[in-house]
Amino acid sequence: MAELFDAGFNTDDRPKSNDELMVAMSDCDVLVPTVTDSINGDLIGRAPPRLKLIANYGAGVNHIDLAAAKAKGIMVTNTPGVFTDDTADLTMALILNVPRRLGEGHRAMRAGEWDGWRPTGMLGHRIGGKTLGIIGFGRIGEAVALRAKAFGLNIIYNKRQRLPASVEEELGVTFEPDLDRLVARADIITLHCPLTAETDKIINAQRIAMMKPDAYIINSSRGELIDEDALISALETGGIAGAGLDVYTHEPAVDPRLFAIPNVVLLPHLGSATFEGREASGERVIANIRMWADAHRPPDQVLEGWS
């Protein structure tokens, strides 16, 4: 970017405040935010007329007020697909980790609490033959299904539009149109839908109560997809068997109650944390800016209605 453009950078690897973002936006044509930069309607409304492109570094755009950007004539792009395998790998790691209680075992070893093999010591659940419910079946959901199939999981999925039968057969998945029924059937639930007004707390107290008591939930998408209070209550009372979380409702803050629950694996938002993925995302950002600067439509435009 420095070679191609007159660019300014956030070099200290922390989110900018609204005031700092306003300063950064005051003298630029393109803004490149990350998921931790809140580009809200007020900020967009105060943006100078010369700002015409928000080239997001990452696929998720729930931190950007898309309606405000469109109203102001600011194009938004993102970088879809570059973190698909990285996030699917991490999700599969949690799917394996939580039912087998690997997190609990690791903590016991580090604390010097293990005193030898026992017939009933640290018993978890076998993965093969269990039912995996995937909520949201885009690129990442499909990539998780491919990995899960290799481990012998039976896969059901829910999304707005059903896949063609030929694709379902190829992936080895079964469509479940009723989300409540998917939640009740699944031994493991994993979330891969974007955060929208419709999906906010899609896993609420009512749906958590529908889960089997020996079921697990995995979230590597967005923390707000789960009602965190309801999840914690179910985990504390044994309503469900465990959880693997890479994202949280109030990041970077994590509800302290989660640390006290043994059957929870907590990760610090590592879904996209690979050298290869971050580099690929940066290349996509640059490609979008170059296309826009050359008066062409960027390949990863988020908003519709632009010529």
Between CA 54 and CA 291, with CA 38 as vertex, the angle to 5 degrees is 10
Burial-class residue 222 by CB neighbours within 10 Å (0-12, 13-18, 19+). Answer: buried
Q: Which of 222, 224, 228, 284 is catalytic?
A: 222
The answer to whether 185 is a known catalytic residue is no
CA distances from 120 to 63, 70, 116 (A): 46, 59, 11
Please state which CATH number belongs to domain 84-266: 3.40.50.720
The maximal CA–CA distance of the chain, rounded, in angstroms, is 69
Domain covering 18-81+274-293: architecture:
3-Layer(aba) Sandwich (3.40)
Helix 102-110 and helix 84-97, axial crossing angle in degrees, nearest 10: 70
**How many CB atoms sit inside 10 A of residue 109's CB?**
10
Q: At 14, is the pLDDT very low, low, confident or very high (cuts 50, 70, 90)?
A: confident
Mean pLDDT of the chain: 95
Closest CA to 184 of 159, 209, 161: 209
Please say whether the beta carbons of 255 and 223 come within 8 A. Answer: no
pTM reported for the whole predicted model: 0.90
Same topology, domains 18-81+274-293 and 84-266? Answer is yes
Q: Which of 139, 251, 257, 278 is catalytic?
A: 251
**How does 229-253 read in b/e, with b if 16+ C-beta sit within 10 Å?**
ebbbebbeeebbbbbbbbbbbeeee
222 catalytic per annotation: yes
Instruction: Please state the rounded mean pLDDT for residues 36-63.
Output: 93
What backbone phi and psi angles, to 5 degrees, belong to 219? -135, 110
- At 227-250, the pLDDT tens digits run 999 999 999 999 999 999 999 999
In this predicted structure, the answer to whether residue 305 has a pLDDT above a threshold of 60 is no
CA pair distance 185, 84, nearest whole angstrom: 26
pLDDT computed for residue 304 by the predictor = 56
- Give the count of beta carbons closer than 10 Å to the beta carbon of residue 5: 14
Spatial CB neighbours of 77, under 8 Å, sequence gap ≥ 6 = 53, 54, 55, 56, 285, 288, 292, 298, 300, 301, 302
Domain limits of the chain?
18-81+274-293, 84-266
Q: For 112-171, how does the pLDDT look when each residue is reduced to its tens digit (9 = 90+)?
A: 999 999 999 999 999 999 999 999 999 999 999 999 999 999 999 999 999 999 999 999
Q: What is the pLDDT of residue 307?
A: 34
306 has pLDDT over 60: no
